Amino acid sequence: MNSSAKLGLLSVGHDFPVRIMAAINVGPESFYKGSVASTPRKISAAVRNAEADGADIVDIGAMSSAPHLDNQISAQVELARVHRALAAVEESSKITISVDTSRASVADAALRNGASIINDVSGLKHDANMGRVIRERGGSLLAMAHSPKVSGAKPIARIRQALKETLQMADKEGIERRRIVLDPGIGFFAAKGTGFGFSPQSVVPWFDWNYMVLAELGGLESLGRPLCVGVSRKAFLTRALGLRKPEERLPASLAATAIAVMNGASMIRTHDVKETVQAVRIAEAIAKARGRREGRVF
């Protein structure tokens, strides 16, 4: 059963509309340059536009977490970018704020300065202090599946185990499960990569791994937490279509997003809010109709 959660003051789960998280990158290293807002004025504009287009949450990323890029920056630089972004958001909007970081020092500053959610692509596994910081600051957690050790397990089984480990770590730190949403880590499991969220795997080709996860997303419902899926303009979409540039991948992103919603996602992270809202609402309506036909509650 996919129970509901609270991300900040926002309810997430099957009893609520699928939530939309807008990805706003405030550093220049992002793989998709269309998501970059590097000055306070551009950050404010991006947040206002995302909110107007239907976003429920903005996710501020100060350091690229793309596993195929080696874009790590110092904690000091990441912290400075986050401070600047949060100040700009505070001036322009009251929208729920998430900060994408795997560093406890950055998370601590973010939660003290307007953010209520930490999006940790390492699932609490990079920084031993992350869980404590989130608990002490009363934050919510979006935790991605991260499995740093090589394994022969198939996609959903490995992701489920990785997320179980994260939930156990959160329990140990005293983070309430009702404040946690899980992310299967689309794009982060591959043969080669870098960064805090990269998980090595050679069981199947990297693009097939992601297709299999989307197809079998329902296999994660036993974890009892709502699922957030992010496929927006990611490289695995290139395999089926030959689209090399992220700028070309919007229609493919929308198709994959709709499938994620049909298969149980309660939240979608995207670079393209307006278009994604439309795709999500149609997929959501069809999923609900399917649920009524099968005599179950969506």
| Residue labelled with tokens 């999923």 | 287
Per-residue pLDDT at 66: 74
**What is the CATH architecture of 5-228?**
Alpha-Beta Barrel (3.20)
Beta carbons of 275 and 54 less than 8 angstroms apart: no
| Residue labelled with tokens 């997320």 | 163
The single-letter DSSP state of residue 176 is -
Per-residue pLDDT at 194: 84
C-alpha angle 200/202/203, rounded to 5°? 120
Helices (H), ranges, 174-272: 206-215, 238-241, 250-262
Q: Which amino acid is at 195?
A: G
| Domain layout of the chain by residue ranges | 5-228
**Tens-digit pLDDT string for the chain (298 aa):** 558 999 999 999 999 999 999 999 998 777 766 778 889 999 999 999 999 999 999 999 999 887 776 678 899 999 999 999 999 997 777 899 999 999 999 999 999 999 999 999 999 999 999 999 999 999 999 999 999 999 999 999 999 999 999 999 999 999 999 999 999 999 999 998 888 899 999 999 999 999 999 999 999 999 999 999 999 999 899 877 877 788 899 999 999 999 999 999 999 999 999 999 999 999 999 998 987 545 554 4
Q: Which residues have a Cβ under 8 Å from the Cβ of 4 and sit 6 or more positions away? A: 11, 12, 13, 14, 15, 16, 178, 226
241: Cα within 13 Å, side-chain hemisphere: 18
